[in-house]
A and B are shown apart, each in its own frame.
Chain A
């Protein structure tokens, strides 16, 4: 087992650092709306022009094909340089839709979408959840009826992040009437400008508008927009699980180490005080998360469901750090600041992308082998 950079690794790290420090935006990111899109796409275009986009994508598709270790070095430099959060409106395209199309898309889909994604020219959102299908995603009911060479889509999605500013949506719908739960679904590329689509933005508890409800009223989508086989959408939706340990979520995990350092600097706690003890715990846990991040990224073969351990550790640590920040701030926490904003945002961490309870079920059942939950 080794964690020592070679001379080339060290040179890569320095090149990344120099570039990031010279090119990171100096103005803060707008929190929502078109301005947030413009900011994110400008930054992605800047990265792309300098050869720093699509780092984990294969070179055949315009990516850089970086090794896991190089990716980690990049993201460590990225968070230390305080480059813009990777969890912006480009996240779904770069880390989910793009990799899915690479794995399962047609040549035409690849040729059209992949360059647009890498250059920051198209923004994607994810339309999986529905009012009746959250944790139980397979309960989804939005339908696509095959009519000639089109799918006619009717139904409703919810919590679709950045749907208000996205060009495309990865849409998971039921295309085979009567098929049971995980069967008969299709993963479809939905152009958000199609007639029959209504987007209703929903404000969140942090006071910004990041997600939306999307209604589909006889929306006609060409069948050629299906990714993978028709009715095989569940397996397409699961494709990216293999890619997950190489996504920009790495940056979010590593960023917690930076946040803890900021918090320690802000708190200036007396040695031995209760606050100092709490900060020491957070610092140690951030180090633990970083060690887990490295190991999960590098270990071969990947251990299945490690993602749940990673994701849950991240989510709960993010919340602890921000709770501590609010306690350190005292009355000042009542006034808007990046800490109080991030504190409120952190409530989503144990809900979005698989709630904490669901992750604990997965860990207990799939990693530890305890009996499965009853299923419908």
Chain B
């Protein structure tokens, strides 16, 4: 079929299997104990091989399926090292890469322990390098371990397609973060009672929740469109990625923020999980960076007066 936006059966199977793996190895509640995520369950699952061609030992799927897998990772707030590694293996098949951000000449790595490489976001795009010497910094809100890295002397600029793939997968995780934050908040709103009724029966709460759903719907539709454009090499890929990069971080942040508000006091505490979604959204927002939304031609531009 030429036009079809219904997820296929094989994709549903992958996602079902991923869900059980995530539920047993990466329940969100694990974050209350601190500690770093290992990658082994993800390796065993084949998370880094999904989109590789079968002749290279991969599963022969594409970024379309891989993006959905990263949505699921995002919901479980899986370490950004999994994300950076999935992207970096397109450059260096054995790499374990931490996610990083470059701010002027300062390099910050997220969860860098055990990583052989770093995939970092610069103003121009993603760069890939061997992990440099680290000095720990105190992460905001005791979130993920972070370190400053001595700028690696020989880092490689990712090509355009890898840049696009990186943006796509980070956006997929941001979508997952938003979905996770929404689900947590909606569950809470259904069960927490005040004034003799569930707080979710109050419109102020309902409308926060509806706004979450609106943002998520838009990002999710954009993600599908951009993933297909990237897989099939559509002309509009730059435009679709730019739109995704523009909207996904905002929606994740807004959803996580509203999620904390809906939880009330427990949302501000470190004993509920709402704050983890917010912090992950901030980290991913820096990792995805910015992308010029006005540079590419629009696929739906009006025709001029004299169209041939």
Decide yes or no whether A11 CB sits under 8 A from chain B.
Answer: no
A1-B298 in contact given A9-B2, A370-B200 (Cβ < 8 Å): no
| Chain B residues with CB under 8 A of A280 | 246, 292-294
Decide yes or no whether A27 CB sits under 8 A from chain B.
Answer: no
Closest CB in chain A relative to B230 CB, distance in Å: 11
Are the C-beta atoms of B225 and A21 separated by less than 8 Å?
no
A368-B210 in contact given A3-B228, A257-B300, A258-B301 (Cβ < 8 Å): yes
CA distance A81 to B300 in the complex (A): 10
A283-B294 in contact given A69-B3, A79-B300, A298-B3 (Cβ < 8 Å): yes
Beta-carbon nearest neighbor of A26 in chain B: B305
- The segment from B37-45, B148-156, B161-169, B235-243 found at the interface with A is B235-243
- The segment from A86-94, A113-121, A357-365 found at the interface with B is A357-365
A1-B228 in contact given A6-B2, A371-B201 (Cβ < 8 Å): yes
Are the C-beta atoms of A370 and B189 separated by less than 8 Å?
yes
| Chain B residues with CB under 8 A of A3 | 3, 5, 225, 228-229, 232, 234
A283-B190 in contact given A5-B2, A81-B303, A291-B224 (Cβ < 8 Å): no
Q: Which of chain B's residues 210-235 have a Cβ closer than 8 Å to chain A?
A: 210-211, 213-214, 217-219, 221-222, 224-225, 227-229, 232, 234
Decide yes or no whether B53 CB sits under 8 A from chain A.
Answer: no
Are the C-beta atoms of B4 and A298 separated by less than 8 Å?
yes
Closest CB in chain A relative to B95 CB, distance in Å: 29
Are the C-beta atoms of A284 and B247 separated by less than 8 Å?
yes
Interface readout for A73-103 with B: 1 if CB under 8 Å, 0 if not? 0001001111000000000000000000000
A258-B302 in contact given A280-B294, A284-B247, A357-B207 (Cβ < 8 Å): yes
Closest CB in chain A relative to B240 CB, distance in Å: 7
CA distance A280 to B247 in the complex (A): 10
Decide yes or no whether A285 CB sits under 8 A from chain B.
Answer: yes
Decide yes or no whether B102 CB sits under 8 A from chain A.
Answer: no
CA distance A357 to B206 in the complex (A): 10
Q: Looking at the complex, which one of A17, A264, A298, A370 makes contact with B5 (CB distance below 8 Å)?
A: A298
Closest CB in chain B relative to A66 CB, distance in Å: 12
CA distance A309 to B210 in the complex (A): 9
Beta-carbon nearest neighbor of A280 in chain B: B293
Beta-carbon nearest neighbor of B216 in chain A: A309
Decide yes or no whether A215 CB sits under 8 A from chain B.
Answer: no
Interface residues on A, range: 35 or more
Which residue, B6, B198, B243, B292, has most C-beta atoms of chain A within 10 A?
B243
Interface readout for A20-31 with B: 1 if CB under 8 Å, 0 if not? 010000000000
Decide yes or no whether B20 CB sits under 8 A from chain A.
Answer: no
Interface majority SS (helix, strand, loop, mixed), chain A: helix
A80-B293 in contact given A1-B8, A2-B1, A295-B224 (Cβ < 8 Å): no
Decide yes or no whether A336 CB sits under 8 A from chain B.
Answer: no
Q: How many residues belonging to B are interface residues under a CB distance threshold of 8 Å?
A: 53
Decide yes or no whether A329 CB sits under 8 A from chain B.
Answer: no
Are the C-beta atoms of B221 and A295 separated by less than 8 Å?
yes
Are the C-beta atoms of B302 and A82 separated by less than 8 Å?
yes
| Chain A residues with CB under 8 A of B2 | 2, 4-6, 9, 69
Are the C-beta atoms of B190 and A371 separated by less than 8 Å?
yes
Interface readout for A282-301 with B: 1 if CB under 8 Å, 0 if not? 01111111111011001110
| Chain A residues with CB under 8 A of B120 | none
Interface readout for A125-138 with B: 1 if CB under 8 Å, 0 if not? 00000000000000
| Chain A residues with CB under 8 A of B229 | 3
CA distance A241 to B99 in the complex (A): 46
Closest CB in chain A relative to B169 CB, distance in Å: 16
| Chain B residues with CB under 8 A of A355 | none
Q: Looking at the complex, which one of A17, A260, A261, A288 makes contact with B218 (CB distance below 8 Å)?
A: A288
CA distance A46 to B201 in the complex (A): 51
Closest CB in chain A relative to B153 CB, distance in Å: 31
CA distance A9 to B1 in the complex (A): 11
CA distance A276 to B8 in the complex (A): 39
Closest CB in chain B relative to A349 CB, distance in Å: 15
Decide yes or no whether A197 CB sits under 8 A from chain B.
Answer: no
- Interface residues, chain B, CB within 8 Å of chain A? 1-8, 64, 182, 186, 189-190, 197-198, 200-201, 203, 205-207, 209-211, 213-214, 217-219, 221-222, 224-225, 227-229, 232, 234, 239-240, 242-243, 246-247, 292-294, 298, 300-303, 307
Q: Would you list 26 pairs from A and B whose C-beta atoms are within 8 A, ordered by A residue?
A: A1-B227, A4-B2, A4-B3, A67-B3, A69-B2, A72-B3, A76-B300, A80-B300, A81-B302, A81-B303, A258-B302, A260-B298, A261-B302, A271-B294, A279-B294, A281-B246, A283-B298, A287-B240, A289-B218, A290-B300, A295-B224, A359-B210, A361-B203, A361-B206, A368-B213, A370-B186
- Interface residues, chain A, CB within 8 Å of chain B? 1-6, 9, 17, 21, 67-69, 72, 76, 79-82, 254, 257-258, 260-262, 264, 271, 276, 279-281, 283-292, 294-295, 298-300, 306, 309, 312-313, 357, 359-361, 363-365, 367-373
Query: When A and B form their complex, which 6 residue pairs have the shortest distance between CB atoms, in order from nearest?
Result: A69-B3, A364-B206, A280-B293, A291-B221, A284-B246, A287-B243
Q: A67-B3, A292-B218 are in contact. List 14 more A-B contacts (CB 8 A).
A: A3-B5, A3-B228, A3-B232, A5-B3, A79-B300, A81-B303, A281-B293, A283-B243, A284-B246, A287-B240, A291-B221, A360-B210, A367-B213, A370-B200
